[in-house]
């Protein structure tokens, strides 16, 4: 039987979270952050324990993570923003689905009223299928909002889920 757990990240996990982030960033097809962003810049924005970071382990190896923080400061801090990281070697086997489910439950437990993804690349069909399976809706389209390394300018979507609904 495979040992699998999603748990809150610790300081010692942050290098593995960075490894996952960097792998995705370097692919230039999912994240708006290009490879010129340094580890320190991404740590200031996302990979720090001020944000809510959870990792997924399979057989004691970190294979995925999600990071959450308020989407906006002040009067917008009741809506959470999230980023998901899945190691390329385990994509397509449900890791993203499990991370999304866990993040929704965590966000509700933390008192957030909504969850928003600010830039979902329209070519990322697998992620979109996961988000939509959990009731996320596209609430906006940014035409040509992402410069895809292979396909040029493609649309980007803003997804939202009301966490107060049962």
Instruction: Considering only residues 37 and 140, tell me which one the structure prediction assigns the higher pLDDT.
Output: 140
**Residue 126 clears pLDDT 80, i.e. is over it:** yes
Q: Tens digits of per-residue pLDDT, 104-122? A: 999 999 999 999 999 999 9
> pLDDT grade, residue 1 (50/70/90)?
low
Single pTM value for the model = 0.94
Would you say the C-alpha torsion 42, 106, 115, 96 has a positive or negative sign?
Answer: positive
Residue 35 is predicted with a pLDDT of 87
Q: What is the pLDDT of residue 92?
A: 84
Can you identify the CATH homologous superfamily of domain 4-162?
Gcn5-related N-acetyltransferase (GNAT) (3.40.630.30)
Q: Which residue has the tokens 């966490």?
A: 163
């Amino acid at each position: 039987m495979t040992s699998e757990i999603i748990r809150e990240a610790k300081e010692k996990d942050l290098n593995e979270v960075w490894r996952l982030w960097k792998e995705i960033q370097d692919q230039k097809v999912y994240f708006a952050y290009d490879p010129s962003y340094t580890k320190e810049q991404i740590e200031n924005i996302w990979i720090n324990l001020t944000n809510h970071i959870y990792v997924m382990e399979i057989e004691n190896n970190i294979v995925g993570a999600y990071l959450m923080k308020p989407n906006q400061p002040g009067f917008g801090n009741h809506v959470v923003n999230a980023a998901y990281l899945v190691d390329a070697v385990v994509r397509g086997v449900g890791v993203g689905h499990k991370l999304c489910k866990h993040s929704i439950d965590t966000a509700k437990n933390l008192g957030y009223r909504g969850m928003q993804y600010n830039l979902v690349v329209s070519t990322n069909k697998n992620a979109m299928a996961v988000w939509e399976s959990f009731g996320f809706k596209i609430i906006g389209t940014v035409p040509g909002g992402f410069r895809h390394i292979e396909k040029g300018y493609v649309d980007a979507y803003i997804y939202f889920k009301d966490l107060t609904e049962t």
